[in-house]
Amino acid sequence: MAIPRIALDVHAHLAPIEPSRLLGIDGVRWDASQRKLDVDGHIVGIGALFSPESLIAWMDEQGIERAWVSIPPPLYRAHLAEEGARVWCRYVNDALADVCAKHESRLSALVHLPLEHPELAQEIAAANTRETRYAAAAGGYDGTLSDDAYAPLWRVLDRQGAFVFLHPGHCCDTRLANFYLENLMGNPVETAVAASHLVFGGVAARHPKIRFCLAHGGGATAMLAGRYERGYRTARPGVDTSLPTPRTTLGRFYVDSIVHDPQALALSASVFGRDHVLFGSDWPFPMGLLTPHTQLADADPALAEAIRTENAHKLLDGLR
């Protein structure tokens, strides 16, 4: 029996390797014999990250037609000063685009925006002549996405009608150092913080053409939606009630399907809209949906079918 087709994976990762160019970049070393990348002392050793052929083979196994690919969090390097970040972003964006161009019928690159440097992110977006699809860290840097410094960036992305995938970066809460909590808990919270500033700061309301997409089902955002609505309805201090309600604004966001629980998936669909839940795998990381047909088997069948095909087609039609 043929497996169901999946039209689009919006959350897959590759680490592009161009050895000659990496030689000129401080803090990064490629070990060709071991196929490992040392990034500021952190060893990136999941070999599949360096192999687009492995990604495509897995896509073939799972019936996935196309993937939008972004660099993985160990490559975000949010600590870099602006000039170092400019050099690094030029490398990862050009190299990832080159990788995907070799497999253009299956892979598309998401341009990395260094949100830790708002002016540089705006510069990269304004100069982008590729498809206006981006990925950026949802946190792990100073500042919040409602800060005025980001206003020029949001204006550029709104003019482009851009797709912006927000993925958690480094978690700065030292209380989460044990039990893998930086990932298990920190990642969903970082995404929720980013989404909350976009909502309560009016960013999403003022820039309706930006298609924000939140990783991991929106993180903790869906669970907080009712509380946010209550704070708005009771005019809590600091809440701008001249903006649309939080639930109204959250209904404009997209999220991926990586929540690992059918009830959580249903909650995400109820908050963001059934047509705004897109398939994501987080390939090749073990916290992802690496066996999606098995992992989504307990989901509502109609929602699962929408995630596999219908919602992607609607998104792609809107981006044309």
Instruction: Quick: pLDDT tens for 189-237.
Output: 999 999 999 999 999 999 999 999 999 999 999 999 999 999 999 999 9
What are the tens digits of pLDDT across the range 269-297? 999 999 999 999 999 999 999 999 999 99
pLDDT band at 306, cuts 50/70/90?
Answer: very high
Supply the pLDDT for residue 45.
83
Q: What is residue 2's predicted lDDT score, i.e. its pLDDT?
A: 79
User: Of all residues in the chain, what percent carry a pLDDT higher than 70?
Assistant: 99
Using the predicted structure, report yes or no on whether residue 131 has a pLDDT greater than 90.
no
pLDDT band at 318 (very low <50, low <70, confident <90, very high): confident
CB atoms within 10 A of CB 43: 12
The answer, yes or no, to whether residue 313 has pLDDT greater than 90, is: yes
Give the pLDDT score at 1: 63
Confidence of residue 181 (pLDDT cuts 50, 70, 90): very high
* Residue 128 pLDDT level (bands cut at 50, 70, 90): very high
Q: What is the pTM of this model?
A: 0.96
The per-residue pLDDT of the chain, averaged, comes to 96
